[in-house]
């Protein structure tokens, strides 16, 4: 007899005796083991999930009217400059912030707005507004921006609506961050879009204010002259015709002076912008339409490089490649800006050359009218001084009224242009503090744990059953021997 036979023989005899007596190899309580493990695992998992930090998520939805919309939503029509914005702008990913002025509109469709929301400038302002350094318990702004990026989700759904989702352990902080994103987006896009429009409006309104004051003084003087006693006017029909011709020429000369002044102001504004620019900088590039494609490319590279600075190290090949691309793009923008500024300052730019030609023609017309007035004045010297003064004052008042009316029209156009270029959007679903957390999902975790416990119990029973069958087989083989 071997040692194996001597040790296993009593167990085999007892097991055979149990089987002969009709006892089952696996008691009923063992069959309940999977259910017990499932209940225990589910309860434990539910308890653990209950003590884990809860995550709350707040959402907001933005609607960007397309260029064809009417009413208040048509304000956004100016925003289709380079973002292809509007509801139709659904596909692709805009990697260019650019954001400078384009004649003078700025695109801010859903995808371009995502580029603004993910920019370092926007996220820094949001972090400062919500005091995220204190909330995240860190003083390093790159870490704060990285945590803010991880908690933020921006996407354009199939309907062309921009969805902003913020996750945080505090529901009120999540809602505050979401609202800060919306406020900062509107502020940045508005500042970029209305800069040139605002300057144009202020320039025209200053001219209108000055001309109104001048017209008021002329009307007051004319009214006083009408009230004062005048000497009897005598003359022939010929003198009346001379006066009428003189007044007509005076009106034409005044109109020519107005046109000449307008062209001079336009030339001063064009060359003044170039002179005010301190070298070939990005500030000068913001008002030069021809360099906008290069500026947009530079802004996109800078946005990508800012992300690389926060996520990659200086030794990373992608980091160094982006650094070289940004430097080359900056040199290209400076070169183009310097060329355009030199052309504008020297007067060889096409738009400036056209203005100089127009001014030369108006100057010649104005000089010719003045010569005609001088010749005609010699013929009407005999007309009473009072009548001449009244005719002259009447012509000045009429000219002033026409100029004020023209400036009022231009000022209203400038105000409408500024309002049209104002970046805006409609908040369909404003952010609100959520009532229930979205993570951890306690019921789901408990269900998975219960299923795992049940499967573990089944596996244990199967392993135990296979072990007994193997042992019985060994005993049967031993008996046969």
Nearest to residue 430, comparing CAs of 180, 111, 179? Answer: 179
DSSP annotation of 105 reads B
The domain locations on the chain are 3-52+441-480, 56-194, 235-383
How far apart CA 95 and CA 429 sit, in angstroms, is 26
For residue 183, how many other CB atoms are within 10 A of its CB? 13
Q: At what angle do helices 442-480 and 33-51 cross, to 10 degrees?
A: 150
Give pLDDT tens digits for 136-154.
Answer: 888 898 999 999 999 899 9
> Among candidates 275, 134, 182, 218, which has minimal Cα distance to 397?
218
Q: What is the pLDDT of residue 23?
A: 47
Strands (E), 6-97: 56-63
- What single DSSP character describes residue 439? B
Residues of the chain falling short of pLDDT 50: 1-9, 11-12, 15-16, 18-24, 26, 67-108, 230-236, 274, 276-281, 287, 347
Q: Which three-class secondary structure state does DSSP give residue 166?
A: strand
Please, which residues bridge with residue 427 across strands?
Answer: 62
CB atoms within 10 A of CB 434: 18
The 152-156 sheet, strands edge to edge? 152-156, 162-168, 56-63, 426-429
b/e map 235-256, b = 16+ CB within 10 Å: eeeebeebbeebbebbbbbbbb
Quote the DSSP letter at residue 167.
Answer: E
**Over the stretch 24-69, which tens digit does the pLDDT of each residue have?**
454 555 667 777 776 776 677 666 666 566 778 888 988 877 644 4
Tell me what pLDDT residue 124 has. Answer: 92
CA angle 267–270–272, rounded 5-degree value: 100
Q: Is the peptide bond before 243 cis (omega within 30 degrees of 0)?
A: no
Residue-level pLDDT at 447: 73
SS3 (DSSP) at 109: coil
User: In this structure, what token pair is assigned to residue 52?
Assistant: 């884990």
Provide the 8-state DSSP code for 55: B
Alpha carbon 363 to chain centroid, angstroms: 46
Q: Which residue, chain included where needed, has tokens 């020429």?
A: 249
Q: Is 234 strand, coil or helix?
A: coil
Does the N-terminal peptide bond of residue 210 adopt cis geometry, omega within 30 degrees of 0?
A: no
Neighbours of 277 (CB within 10 A): 21
Element (H, E) at 402: helix 385-421
Q: Which helix or strand (DSSP H or E) is residue 69 part of?
A: none
Query: In the chain, helix, strand, coil percent, each to 5?
Result: 70, 5, 25
The whole-angstrom separation of Cα 352 and Cα 266 is 9
């Amino acid at each position: 007899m071997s040692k194996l036979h001597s040790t296993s023989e009593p167990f085999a005899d007892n097991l055979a005796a149990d089987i002969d007596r009709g006892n089952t190899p696996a008691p009923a309580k063992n069959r309940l083991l999977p259910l017990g493990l499932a209940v225990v695992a589910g309860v434990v998992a539910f308890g653990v999930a209950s003590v884990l930090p809860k995550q709350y998520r707040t959402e907001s939805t933005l609607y960007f009217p397309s260029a064809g919309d009417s009413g208040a939503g048509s304000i956004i029509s100016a925003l289709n400059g380079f973002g292809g914005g509007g509801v139709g702008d659904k596909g692709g990913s805009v990697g260019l912030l650019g954001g400078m002025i384009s004649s003078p509109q700025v695109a801010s469709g859903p995808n371009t707005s995502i580029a603004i929301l993910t920019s370092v400038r926007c996220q820094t302002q949001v972090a400062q507004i919500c005091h995220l350094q204190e909330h995240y318990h860190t003083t390093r702004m790159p870490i704060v921006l990285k945590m803010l990026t991880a908690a933020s989700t921006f996407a354009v759904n199939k309907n062309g609506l921009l969805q902003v989702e913020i996750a945080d352990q505090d529901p009120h902080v999540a809602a505050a961050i979401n609202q800060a994103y919306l406020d900062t987006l509107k502020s940045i896009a508005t500042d970029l879009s209305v800069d040139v429009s605002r300057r144009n409006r202020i320039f025209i309104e200053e001219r209108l204010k000055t001309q109104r004051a001048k017209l008021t003084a002329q009307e007051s003087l004319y009214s006083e002259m009408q009230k004062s006693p005048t000497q009897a006017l005598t003359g022939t029909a010929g003198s009346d015709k001379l006066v009428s011709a003189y007044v007509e020429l005076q009106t034409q000369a005044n109109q020519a002076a107005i046109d000449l002044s307008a062209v001079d102001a336009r030339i001063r504004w064009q060359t003044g912008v170039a002179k005010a620019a301190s070298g070939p900088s990005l500030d000068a590039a913001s008002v030069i339409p021809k360099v906008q494609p290069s500026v947009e490319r530079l802004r996109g590279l800078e946005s990508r490089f800012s992300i690389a600075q926060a996520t990659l190290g200086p030794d990373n090949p992608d980091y160094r490649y982006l650094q070289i691309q940004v430097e080359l793009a900056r040199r290209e923008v400076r070169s183009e800006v310097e060329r355009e500024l030199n052309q504008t300052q020297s007067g060889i730019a096409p738009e400036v050359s056209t203005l100089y030609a127009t001014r030369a023609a108006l100057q010649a017309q104005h000089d010719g009218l003045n010569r005609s007035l001088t010749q005609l004045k010699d013929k009407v010297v005999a007309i009473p001084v009072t009548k001449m003064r009244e005719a002259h004052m009447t012509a000045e008042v009429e000219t002033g009224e026409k100029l004020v009316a023209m400036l009022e029209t231009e000022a209203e156009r400038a105000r409408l242009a500024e309002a049209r270029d104002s970046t805006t959007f409609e908040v369909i679903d404003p952010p609100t503090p959520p009532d229930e957390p979205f993570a951890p999902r306690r019921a789901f975790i408990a269900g998975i744990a219960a299923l795992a416990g049940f499967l573990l119990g089944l596996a244990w029973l199967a392993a135990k059953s296979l072990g007994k069958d193997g042992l019985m087989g060994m005993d049967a083989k031993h008996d046969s021997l």
